[in-house]
A = this chain, B = another copy of it.
């Protein structure tokens, strides 16, 4: 006789994304209030802090500020000295980096009622979030993104990951943080490349979801590259908001095949890898967006002038629209192979978002390799023309 039992339950996930400056400044009560709201009367909660090496280097007072800030708190205590880890994609390729965090969690007896804080760029947030998610089946995780890219995109979302045998994000989980603190003051020490690279994700989400935001970015085309902080704060806030809204109303844990927020990303992931991660994620996304925008024009969804205006915007914001590796025979083949890997990661049918029109994305299940190569040729010529104009001026 066959029998069946049905299991079913709901889990509610919620967290806040705070926008602030100087999170560890003595007068800033945001974090102390956060801890107080979540205090446990029976014991002090522990906090393990993991810091991106480049943040550690550019903020020599960070350790002192941390110690001073936590010294004044009654509800929590630092689990141990901050753990400093080399940031950038390299940390996601290095099994020892993951091991060092898990080991610290074990050594300092950081438990499920403790917190693991990650302070750094997107790669560090991904790595630390993953370590926290798998230790004790999930330790509360707080993100303090320090780059434009992580504040407006990856840091506010629900994913974490490391790479496996060079395959980006092969290992990971969907585990929302318990809070995100976007501290603008960390942006001041970013180098120019990183500052600019983060803008790509804003262009991306604007192009697929919000024409108003796209026009607003157009209007900031001079302010953003000269590091106007008001423009950047607004860009981050609006971009984060669009990402959050998309996750909330879409498919947060990606059980389906569509992943609209990955517009421009199928080629970007591959390009990062082909360049040995010398091309920053945001730069690769800029190029990936340019490819998919031209592609959207080639299949008749955009006018030539619309497509060119996007490519020009990317260029004017100081971001690349092309990389020579894409025109090498090997590079072309690898790029198209990237489509298969992109499909495998999500599974199911190939699903790539292209533009139906400016401000609106749409799923496509077939990508024509010839159009991709044609788009690359067009972008190579653009890059040549941009360089020529730069020399003239």
Contacts and interface: CB of A to CB of B under 8 A. Distances in A.
B347 A244 contact: no
A344 B46 CA distance: 11
A7 interface: yes
26 contacts: A2-B18, A3-B18, A5-B16, A5-B19, A5-B237, A6-B17, A7-B14, A7-B15, A7-B244, A7-B248, A9-B12, A9-B14, A40-B348, A102-B164, A106-B165, A106-B167, A109-B344, A111-B343, A112-B347, A113-B346, A113-B347, A113-B348, A134-B173, A136-B170, A136-B346, A137-B253
Contact of A14 (B4, B6, B19): B6
Given A113-B257, A159-B137, A348-B43, A14 B8 contact: yes
Contact of A19 (B4, B135, B173, B348): B4
Given A11-B11, A113-B348, 4 more contacts: A5-B241, A8-B248, A106-B165, A112-B348
Given A254-B137, A348-B113, A9 B173 contact: no
B134 A134 contact: yes
Given A4-B16, A16-B5, A137-B174, A254 B345 contact: no
Contacts of A19: 2-5
B16 A13 contact: no
A10 interface: yes
A359 interface: no
A168 to B, nearest CB: 11
Contacts of A15: 7-8
A336 interface: no
Nearest to A139: B347
A133 interface: yes
Contacts of A247: 7, 9
Contacts of A172: 134, 136-137
Given A11-B253, A347-B113, A134 B171 contact: yes
A318 interface: no
Interface in A85-139: 102, 106, 109, 111-114, 133-139
